[in-house]
Amino acid sequence: MDKLTRRHLLGIGAAAASVTLLPTAVQAVTRSATPWQTEGPFFPIHEQSDKDADLTVIDGQSEPALGEVVEVSGRIVDTNGDPIAGALVDIWQANAAGRYAHESDPNTAPLDPQFQGWARLVTGPDGSYSIRTIKPGAYPAAEAWVRPPHIHYKVARRGYKEITTQLYFGGDPLNDVDRLLLAVPEPERAQLIGDFSGGAATFDVVLARV
């Protein structure tokens, strides 16, 4: 092989290497923040001693909460995908009948005294969290509007923009007509929908820096 041909091949190889490396570098800085969702009127207002990661059992009680048990795990990360340690994560939701343990909830569905309803967690060094809960019920929000099952999140960490959002259950037909979910631009909507087909889902929350 002559020098010209060898030089030509080396040039092609260098160009190919640069093409291979470029997407990785671009992807590392283009992860978008999790879409915002309204906090809603039922953020917990009464302090409770039990706010651990298992919402299906209340300390000191032997009976578990009613409903289908599900698990959610994930990480709190920044837009580069780096873990955020020490993030405060509030998670709350309706019970299996679609009722919040909140004095302002007008829903006449029954309360579940065995359901914790609210968890407050702090992420570890890897930014991870996990909860065990029940699938919340749908509930009427307004005339001709029934909210699909969803779990509320509020995540805060100094140096990052606090976010309030909601996790939805994939495949639920009410998702297709929910006013809050449809208000999210379609390309971003999938970030809020979890695949619970196996009884567990992964949900990462991405925070932008201040």
For residue 30, the model assigns a pLDDT of: 66
**Residue 78 sits in a domain of what CATH number?**
2.60.130.10
Range of the domain at 2: 1-30
Could you say which of 99, 150, 160, 168 is catalytic?
Answer: 150
What percent of the chain has a predicted confidence (pLDDT) above 90? 82
- Answer yes or no: do 177 and 188 share one domain: yes
- Answer yes or no: do 6 and 75 share one domain: no
User: Which helix (DSSP H) or strand (DSSP E) does residue 97 occupy?
Assistant: none
Provide the whole-model pTM: 0.85
**Is 46 tagged catalytic?**
no
Averaged pLDDT, 132-149: 97
pLDDT confidence band for 25 (50 / 70 / 90): very low
Could you say which of 102, 132, 139, 157 is catalytic?
Answer: 139
- Answer yes or no: do 14 and 84 share one domain: no
Strands of 88-92's sheet in order across: 118-122, 88-92, 150-156, 163-169, 193-194
For residue 21, the model assigns a pLDDT of: 37
149 vs 173: CA distance, rounded Å: 10
Spatial contact of 75 and 129, defined as CB atoms under 8 Å apart: yes
Spatial contact of 129 and 123, defined as CB atoms under 8 Å apart: yes
Tens-place pLDDT, residues 154-187: 999 999 999 999 999 999 999 999 999 999 999 9
C-alpha distances out from residue 88 to 14, 37, 158, 161, 190, Å: 46, 17, 10, 12, 24
**Is 102 tagged catalytic?**
no
Q: How many domains does the chain have?
A: 2
**Is 152 tagged catalytic?**
yes
Could you say which of 102, 147, 157, 168 is catalytic?
Answer: 147
